[in-house]
Amino acid sequence: MTTTVLEAVVGLLRDTGMTTVFGNPGSTELRMFRNWPEDFTYVLGLQESSAVAMAAGHALGTGRAAFVSLHSAGGVGHALGAVFNAHRDRVPLVIVAGQQARSLIRLRPFLGADEPEQFPRPYVKSARQPERAADVPAVLAEMHRIAMTHPRGPVLVSVPEDDWDRAAEPVEPRAVHSGFTADPDVLAALAARLDVCGRPALVIGPGVDAEAALPHAVALAERIRAAVWMSPLSGRSGFPESHPLFQGFLPPVAGPLAARLAPYDVVVTLGAPLFTYHVADDSPPLAPGTELFHLDCDPAQAAWLPTGTSLVTTLRPALAQLTTLVARSDREGPPARKRPAPVSPGSDLTPEGVLDQLHRRLPRDRVLVEEAPSHRDALHARVPVDLAGGFLTTGSGALGWGLPLAVGRALADRRRVVCVLGDGSALYSVQALWTAARHRAPVTFIVLDNGGYGAVSALGRRLGIAPVPGTDLGGIDFTGLAASFGCPADYADHPDDLGKALDRAVTALGDDDGPHLLHLRVTDTEGVLYET
């Protein structure tokens, strides 16, 4: 009996665990849904960018690549902001984009994609439109392996709509083990340097979480008694923030970053580009006397770093070996990280007060998703995360990621997620509330509404630009908006009401309950974004 492209692809998706499909269907994908398998789940996103972000959350929760179905050129265009985030945050996604029938492509048809392999570049690891229909299953299998090979990331395959019914060979399952280690002599030399240095520091990047290397990073830090910092604007957790060696989060500005690392003679960055800047600064990347070693699986990242010695390696085997090579140190550890004092209740609801109250109620095993740029520093200071994989945000800055990311993450294992959002950020992808309600995703959304794009205003003040046009919002009823999508919601704007509202939204809701949104009207602190 002849196997069709569709049948071969369905078999491949089963073999690779990609039976949850995220998408927004269009006419050029219809044949893909013929005889839709009963063991597959289709998660509808009401906009393509939300579908990609939900798939990313699911991939981060399962540790496997997620499958995304996008419409032809326009749908891919809508999705590219989220694809950009997935690429920068190393999230494995297998994206299939619809394409018009092969017989029509030369005629520039309605909904046809010109040069579909080029459209998503450079923010995919690879993109192809197979030369023949019969090649589609094998190309998809290859793309899955590319997506899952470190550094992981999204891939895209453009499939003409008439390919699905053509004949093709089934794809044999095969495994690729992608861990690799730096030269043993190079690791031994790094260990020797760590043994004789005076004040070592580790900088933890998103690669630690991406490669499930947190226990190995903790073991190395404890063995050498190193101060531990988080890399600037990291999209993930990677070290327990209540650990006595943890010192805080590095700023994305050259001068302050170099100043934070100046006390250390050897700095080892793990899975982090380190020099991720958001504000121009003519300062050198590191102070004189600070020696940098950089461990990461991406040779491209190793190539562009402006200073230091790079070791191209995956982290788990390298850290396991490095920890056995270094001597156990008796050097004095760094001083304990200073934490801000709790905010005293006043007449206004402040972001800091909300985060203090959230910290008291947030279980230690709860995943926290954040997309509130104005309040990220306050969240890091007041809500420490100790859980491996326990913190997710956008490390690349394209808004609209957090809300649907939280939905996909909750659907991965059906454990409640808490998602802290700014009002501006939430509006980029608010339609994902409909998906959360439809699938009863266990997510608590906390919207910190300061009435505008506070991070942009703060950066404007830093540059002497005030007011910044187009940064004011207001009058948006998030509770009514959530209710219209089927998501229950509450509102509070006074400290006296905050505790009970958080109890309902965070404490009282379990993993079997659906989504809930809490709209909090907070005062704008008029702060300056990042240290000067």
Helix intervals (H) in 240-375: 254-261, 299-304, 315-325, 351-361
Question: Are residues 313 and 461 part of one domain?
Answer: no
Is the distance from CB of 158 to CB of 120 less than 8 angstroms? no
Question: Are residues 246 and 201 part of one domain?
Answer: yes
333 belongs to a structural domain: no
CATH code of the domain covering residue 431: 3.40.50.970
Catalytic sites, residue numbers: 26-27, 29, 48, 71, 278, 397
Question: Are residues 486 and 371 part of one domain?
Answer: yes
- pLDDT tens sequence across 130-155: 999 999 999 999 999 999 999 999 99
Q: Find tokens 């409640």 and name the residue.
A: 416
Question: Are residues 289 and 206 part of one domain?
Answer: yes
What is the model's pLDDT at position 532? 55
341 belongs to a structural domain: no
State how far the Cα of 450 lies from the Cα of 352, in Å rounded to an integer: 12
**Length in residues, the chain:** 532
Question: Are residues 116 and 206 part of one domain?
Answer: no
368 belongs to a structural domain: yes
What is the model's pLDDT at position 87? 96
Question: Are residues 442 and 355 part of one domain?
Answer: yes
283 belongs to a structural domain: yes
State how far the Cα of 33 lies from the Cα of 6, in Å rounded to an integer: 9
Question: Are residues 428 and 381 part of one domain?
Answer: yes
List residues bridging with 479 in a β-sheet: none
526 belongs to a structural domain: no
Question: Are residues 321 and 362 part of one domain?
Answer: no
85 belongs to a structural domain: yes
CATH code of the domain covering residue 192: 3.40.50.1220
Helix intervals (H) in 110-253: 136-148, 184-196, 206-210, 214-224
> How many domains does the chain fold into?
3
**Structural domain of residue 369, as residue ranges?**
351-521
Q: Collapsing DSSP states into helix, strand and coil, what is residue 159?
A: strand
What is the model's pLDDT at position 528? 58
340 belongs to a structural domain: no
175 belongs to a structural domain: no
List the chain residues with pLDDT less than 50. none
